[in-house]
Amino acid sequence: MMNPRHVFGRAERRQALAFLAVRVLAILLAAAALLYAVAVTPGVPYHVRELFGSGPTPLQALLFAVMVLLALGPPALFGLQLIRQPKPWAWLFPIALLAHAVVIFLIFRFATPIESVHDLVGMPLWPVPAELERLVRFIAVFLVFSVSIAGGTAMLYAINRSYEPLRFLWWLLYAVVFLGFGYWVVVVLAATDNVTLLLRGDANPLSWIAISLWMLLMAFGASVLAERLAGVFAGTLAAVFAQVLLLVVTYSVAFLATEPKVLGPESRLSALEFLLSASRNEYGLSDLQLFLRYTAAYVAVMLLLTFAQYPVWVAYSTRRFARKPSPAPLGSVPADEVAGAGSNDPG
């Protein structure tokens, strides 16, 4: 792995740090403003509003923004490093995801009401300490999303600028392992009520894979936006087109993954309507209303994922501060890094 001290002088490191710090602060404030708007806007799904309690404040939104960026950002970095860095990163990748999941559980556990924790992971029912059960079940759920977020950056980099595109197969292997672990814990062992109720076919394996695919597509779309903001690759029109296409594709995937009749064979309430309705008394949305509500949710989630990924992508653009910038295109691996990787890794 390339040592930044070999590329950056002291002045360049200071300049790069200032460059990153200003942008990270801007992203944090933008995320806080978005979350505060979500908390106070009429018509926002009540499941989301309940996370903020009865009286949301700007400070609370700022703390939530920190938590969201810490939850969504590092997996994107891990996925990018899995593709870019020498082979030892292939073994560090799952360890990094697991360690990150534990940290996020501790933040989430003490930053949100216990009711919200139970809404996500279900009530404790195993013959083990309740906090340990919450931790294991949270990790199982969270890894499904974090490995998908990592896949978004890994897939974009593998497609655009990877010197080892087959490294993406490592991500695929770990995704299968983590998805299997999550399904075993959340569905087989725990039968978590909100999951089995809302995913199609009592959360059968296909619906479990489909919801992971939905997250992967969302993360990939956010990677496209974030790298364009950071100026890593080219193709602004392609990025805009990708967002429109992904809106339709992800809606279709979400529809196929979720239960169309939540309350039984005679029910007309779908899981999507349940998740996107403003209150428990306002069901009965038309297809157009449901799609418009999904579009609003899509924009909000895509922006949060983009905010979280932007610092990851912009970190690579700081190569401009090097005394001798690499002549290779931005995002590619410079010759000295490839040579260093080859000398340290004979395989």
Q: Which amino acid is at 336?
A: D
- Per-residue model confidence (pLDDT) at position 215: 95
The segment with the largest mean pLDDT, out of 56-65, 210-219, 258-267, 316-325, is: 210-219
Which pLDDT band holds residue 330 (cuts at 50, 70, 90)?
A: very low
Q: Is the pLDDT of residue 84 over 90?
A: no
CA dist 16 → 19, 174, 223, 252, 322 (Å): 5, 33, 22, 42, 9
Q: Is pLDDT above 80 for 106? A: yes
pLDDT value of residue 334: 45
Q: How many CB atoms lie within 10 A of CB 329?
A: 11
- Provide the pLDDT for residue 109: 83
Per-residue confidence (pLDDT) for residue 250, from 0 to 100: 97
**Residue 109 and residue 120 in contact, taking contact as beta carbons nearer than 8 Å:** no
List, in sequence order, every residue forming a beta bridge with 199; answer none if it has no partner. 258
Residue 209 — very low, low, confident or very high, per pLDDT cuts 50/70/90?
Answer: very high
How high is the pLDDT of residue 114?
78
Going 171 to 23 to 224 to 1, the CA torsion angle's sign is negative
With 90 as the cut, is the pLDDT of residue 346 above it?
Answer: no
| pLDDT reported for residue 72 | 93
At 301 the pLDDT is: 94
Name the residue among 70, 37, 43, 40 with its Cα closest to residue 53: 40
Provide the pLDDT for residue 319. Answer: 56
- Give the mean pLDDT of the chain: 82
The model's pTM is: 0.82
pLDDT in tens, 222-236: 999 998 888 777 678
Q: Among 321, 312, 198, which Cα is nearest to 259's?
A: 198
First-residue to last-residue Cα distance in the chain: 15
Q: Which residue has the tokens 């299968």?
A: 176
Q: Which residue did the predictor score with more confidence, 341 or 148?
A: 148
What SS3 string covers 102-139? HHHHHHHHHHCCHHHHHHHHCCCCCCCCHHHHHHHHHH
Determine which of 155-159, 163-167, 190-194 has the lowest per-residue pLDDT on average: 163-167
- State how far the Cα of 222 lies from the Cα of 309, in Å rounded to an integer: 7
Predicted confidence band at 163 (pLDDT cuts at 50, 70, 90)? low
| pLDDT of amino acid 258 | 94
- 17-33 exposure pattern, b = at least 16 Cβ within 10 A, e = fewer: eebeeebbeebbebbbe
